[in-house]
Amino acid sequence: MLRLSWSTFRERWQLFLGAILTVCLGVALVQSSLLILISAAGSGLVEAITLLGITLAVSTFLAVFIVSSTFAFTVAQRRRDLALLRLVGAGRKQVRRLLLSEALLLGVLGTAVGVPLGVVVMRLQTSMLTSLGFAPADFVPAWQNWILGVSAGVGIGVALAGVLAASRRAGKVRPLDALRDTGEGARVMTGARWFFGLLFLAGTIALVTVSSFTGPEAAIPLTINAALTASVALSALSPLVVPLVGGLLGLLLRGTTVGSLAQANLRDGVRRSASTAAPLLVLVALLVGQSGVLASINAAAELEQRRDLVGELVVTTEGPAARELGSVPGVAVAAERLRVPMDVTTRTDYDGDVDTQTDEYVATVVDPGTYAQTNRRAPELSGLRGETLAVAPGLFPAEAEIEVGVGGRTVPLRVVAELPESMGGGDQLLLPRGIVPEATAGAATAETIVRVRPGADVAAVAAEIRALGLGEVSTLDDWIAASASRQQDTSTGIMTVVLGLAGFYALIAVVNAVVIAAAERRREFAVARVSGLSRGQVVRMALVESWAVTVVGLLLGGLAAAGTLAGIGAATARVTGEASIVVPWDLLGITVVGALLVVGATNVWTTLAATRSRPVALVGAGE
């Protein structure tokens, strides 16, 4: 079987080249993310570990999804060839073994190229992490020899798994049905498509619903998973949408030869159109959906700060300055918030099994009285004295013993208050002033919210603070806006790390699907030209058809992204009282225009290549 598979590959290498490419890139992404994740864990880079964990999950999903859809498309394009094998005596099991042998061969080739490519991808990802500040400049991931086994398992395993379902379906189709495109061979919406489409659609609805009743910490991963499940669901159900778009295309281009033919091709080539739209669907769902989720959370955090904080000015200093600011004429309240990094260790007893965990936090050291005067949602903090702290809900287990390491000493603390739930604009840990040694406090950054006395001139108070050299002064509105801008920059960095290379992989998969679709249409184009169409008309027909398929992918991807935004919008409404849904219109516009240009250019190039030969020679050639 391997010899026959190799012969098939040499004869139809254009069809298999895309499958090898998808396996290769999938192996490279997964290998790179895993190696960097292991090195980051050994170096204690908490933020990098979190990002790379998400990146690894997204990369694995994309590898499985894209490779599976590519192999299924490739098998579907060859159903007539497989039917001929059945007619000359090949049994169902032999057809399945042939396809699995081809998948094994392509998986080995893809892995062989993907392993060295993964080293290049690892350098790119590492450069992203260091340039965006998620890892130190001297961070270098270590090579692990065992990764070769993992990469081989990913490449070969995903290739075999991707072709398994398609091979079983190909073996069940009766040969004459496949040759005539009737019966089981022509049915696109199979039982498996209905089952998995509805199953993942129900899972998406469940994830979006649950995310609307959870806090931001849980809502983010839930919405990410919702984008992935929605992609699978809508990809499986996409053949239902293709004819609708084809009908709309027919209405728009009514009376034109090119439009009528493009509509007919969409109606007859539903499987081809759905397979081409699948990677584009995932690309839009991930890019637009996750960008919108992060932007919505940032908007909710900014809204939360504007609603909760009370004051006119914010003074930023190095070290405490509340006493000096309180003596400035016109200042009524100077509520200092000292940002101090510290190690927090929790010990939780689970029926005799003690779990110990140490993490780095930036705690806020405050005076309970002035803090309450500048925060509308401040809890009762009269007990925040001595060795105590207030924590955000769900930050630590309820029965955990907590101690902090600060200023070279370790202090056990007792929780005396719970802070209100926050979308990211509030504090996680509040500590009283006496916990932090003077030397540590003097080196920390202090942000003091100033409330001026009734009738006092805010500009005059700000000028007096500047004249005394007490710190950098800004209005509260400007300070909140600057904080939101910094958070947006961080979110952009997160998106770059998580979806930068993964989005590029999905884009290549889109191009690959267009190339595979056009490679098998040479005889179809030749028949159209023999029937009276010029070469230019054939190219325009294929271009219109490809743009219609692009619209299908964009619409379904946008629907998946809308579901994730609805979930995070409900979560923000529960916390802040107002739904914050931010649609990244700039990114959406770039994605739409870019998809139309890339798909259109690829389609024109492949169609020109497919119509280069004389049509009579192709029409007369045997299939």
Rounded distance between C-alpha atoms, residue 298 and residue 580, angstroms:
9
Report which of 596, 504, 585 is spatially closest to residue 121, judged by C-alpha positions.
504
Residue 144 phi, psi (nearest 5): -120, 125
d(C-alpha 454, C-alpha 461), whole Å: 12
Q: HSE on the CB side for 484, CA within 13 Å?
A: 19
Q: How many CB atoms lie within 10 A of CB 235?
A: 28
- Residue 333 tokens read as 């309240």
Q: Give Dmax over CA atoms of the chain in angstroms.
A: 99
Q: What is the pLDDT of residues 464-522, one digit of tens each?
A: 888 888 888 899 999 888 888 888 887 777 777 777 777 787 788 888 778 877 767 77
Q: Residue 249 has what pLDDT?
A: 66
Q: Give the count of alpha carbons within 13 A of 543, CB side only.
A: 15
Contact 331, 352 (CB under 8 A): no
Q: CA torsion sign, 29 to 31 to 34 to 36?
A: negative
pLDDT given at position 81:
66
pLDDT at residue 523, rounded to an integer: 75
Q: How many CA atoms lie within 13 A of 202 on its CB side?
A: 5
Calpha distance 92→173 (Å, rounded) = 9
CB-based contacts of 551: which residues, under 8 Å, 6+ apart? 245
* Residue labelled with tokens 């700039």: 586
Residue 360 · residue 429 · CB < 8 Å: no
Tokens coding 618: 């192709």
Query: What's the pLDDT at 425?
Result: 60
Q: State the pLDDT at residue 183.
A: 46
For residue 623, give the 3-state DSSP assignment.
coil
The amino acid that residue 109 corresponds to is L
What is the pLDDT, as a whole number, of residue 202?
A: 92
Q: State whether the Cα torsion 220-222-226-229 is positive or negative.
A: positive
Dig out the tokens for 548 from the structure.
Answer: 């219609």
The domains of the chain are located at: 1-187, 193-308+476-623, 322-470
Give me the residues paired with residue 362 across strands: 341
8-state DSSP, 141: P
Helix, coil or strand: residue 341: strand
Comparing C-alpha atoms, which of 537, 554, 564, 543 is closest to residue 594?
Answer: 554
Cβ-contact 21, 508 below 8 angstroms = yes
Residue 72 CA neighbour count, 13 Å, CB half: 26
pLDDT at 182: 47
Does residue 49 sit in helix, strand or coil?
A: helix
What residues contact 402, with CB distance under 8 A and at least 6 apart?
344, 345, 346, 389, 396, 412, 413, 414, 415
How far is the CA of 374 from the CAs of 366, 390, 428, in angstroms?
Answer: 11, 17, 17
**CA–CA dist 225, 290 (Å, integer):** 10
pTM beyond 0.75, yes or no: yes
315 sits in the region (left: phi over 0; alpha: psi -120 to 50; else beta) called: beta
Q: How far apart are CA 610 and CA 454, in angstroms?
A: 79
Residue 107 and residue 23 in contact, taking contact as beta carbons nearer than 8 Å: yes
Query: What confidence tens digit (pLDDT) does each residue in 318-346 have?
Result: 888 878 888 888 888 888 888 888 888 88
Cα separation, 441 vs 359, whole angstroms: 20
Distance CA 288, CA 366 (A): 39
β-pair partners for 415: 389
Integer distance in angstroms from the first to the last C-alpha of the chain?
A: 22
> Residues in the chain with pLDDT < 50?
182-185, 622-623
3-state secondary structure 165-213: HHHHHHHHCCHHHHHHCCHHHCCCCCHHHHHHHHHHHHHHHHHHHHHCC
Q: Which amino acid, 138? A: D
> What is the four-CA torsion angle of 102, 66, 228, 426, rounded to 10 degrees?
120
